[in-house]
Amino acid sequence: MAITRTIIATDTPTASVIRTWLGNTQDERVVSGFLVTDVSALNVGISAGTALIKDASGEMYQVVSTAADSLTLTDDTTNYVYLHCDNGSDWLTNSESSTVPADAILLATVVTASGDITSVTDNRELGKQSKVYCALGKSYRSSNVVYNNYIHLNPSFGKYIRIKKVKYYVRCTSDTPYIYSYYNTGSGEVEMDAYHGTSASERDLTPNVTSTDNTADVYVRLYYAYAGSPYLSITSIRIYVEEWG
Residue in 184, 171, 186 with CA at minimum distance from that of residue 232: 171
* CA-based nearest residue to 49, from 113, 125, 119, 116: 125
DSSP-assigned beta bridge partners for residue 180 = 194, 223
pLDDT of 93 = 93
Amino acid at 90: D
82-92 pLDDT, tens digit each: 999 887 778 99
**pLDDT number for residue 237:** 95
pLDDT tens column, 31-40: 888 999 999 8
**pLDDT tens track for 36-80:** 999 989 999 999 988 989 988 888 888 999 999 999 999 999 999
Across residues 116-123, what is the average pLDDT? 93
- What's the pLDDT score for residue 190? 97
The burial class, CB within 10 Å (0-12 / 13-18 / 19+), for 12 is: exposed
Residues of the chain by 3-state class (helix, strand, coil), percent to 5:
5, 55, 40
What is the CB-side half-sphere exposure of residue 116 using CA atoms within 13 A?
2
Measured distance CA(104)–CA(81) in Å, rounded: 10
Interstrand relation of 49-54 and 78-84 (parallel, antiparallel or unpaired): unpaired
Which position has the higher pLDDT, 236 or 9? 236
DSSP category for residue 74: P
Question: For 181-202, what is the mean pLDDT?
Answer: 92
pLDDT tens by residue, 132-187: 999 888 877 767 778 899 999 999 898 889 999 999 999 877 766 788 999 999 99
The rounded mean pLDDT for the chain is: 88
**CA atoms of 171 and 223, how far apart (whole Å):** 13
Give the chain's domains with CATH numbers: 15-122 (2.60.520), 129-244 (2.60.120)
The closest alpha carbon to 95, from 116, 110, 80, belongs to: 80
For residues 109-125, average pLDDT: 93
